[in-house]
C-alpha cells in the first residue's frame, strides 16, 4: 500500500494488457480512466470511441462541413 494520504481508488482500463485495474496499476501511459466502477472501466474503449465520434461531429460542425 502506498503512503499517499489521498490515494486514487478509481478503476482503469489498461490498453496494453486489456485488463481492468484497481489500486495496483500499470504505467499511466497505458491507462484509460479513472472510472467510478469496474463495469464502466470495462466499457472504456466504447466510451472513448463515442467521445471521439462526438468530438469529430463537433469539429465538422465548427468547420461548416
Mean pLDDT of the chain: 91
Q: Is residue 38 part of a domain?
A: yes
DSSP codes joined into one string, 12-29: EEETTTTEEEESS---GG
Q: Is residue 59 part of a domain?
A: yes
pLDDT at 6: 64
pLDDT at 2: 56
What whole-number percentage of the chain has pLDDT above 70?
Answer: 89
Residues forming a β-bridge with 35: 11
Q: Is residue 1 part of a domain?
A: no
Cis, peptide link before residue 46, omega less than 30° from 0: no
Q: Is residue 17 part of a domain?
A: yes
User: How many structural domains comprise the chain?
Assistant: 1
**What's phi and psi for 40, nearest 5 deg?**
-70, -40
| Residue span of the structural domain in which 46 resides | 11-63
Residue whose C-alpha cell is 474503449:
45
pTM confidence score: 0.77
pLDDT at 60: 94
Cis, peptide link before residue 63, omega less than 30° from 0: no
Q: How many residues does the chain have?
A: 65
9-22 mean pLDDT:
95
Amino acid at each position: 500500500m502506498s503512503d499517499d494520504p489521498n490515494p486514487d481508488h478509481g478503476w482503469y482500463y489498461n490498453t496494453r494488457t486489456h485488463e481492468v485495474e484497481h489500486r495496483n496499476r500499470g504505467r499511466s501511459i497505458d491507462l484509460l480512466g479513472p472510472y467510478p466502477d469496474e463495469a464502466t472501466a470495462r466499457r472504456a474503449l466504447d466510451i472513448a470511441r463515442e467521445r471521439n465520434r462526438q468530438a469529430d461531429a463537433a469539429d465538422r460542425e465548427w468547420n461548416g462541413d
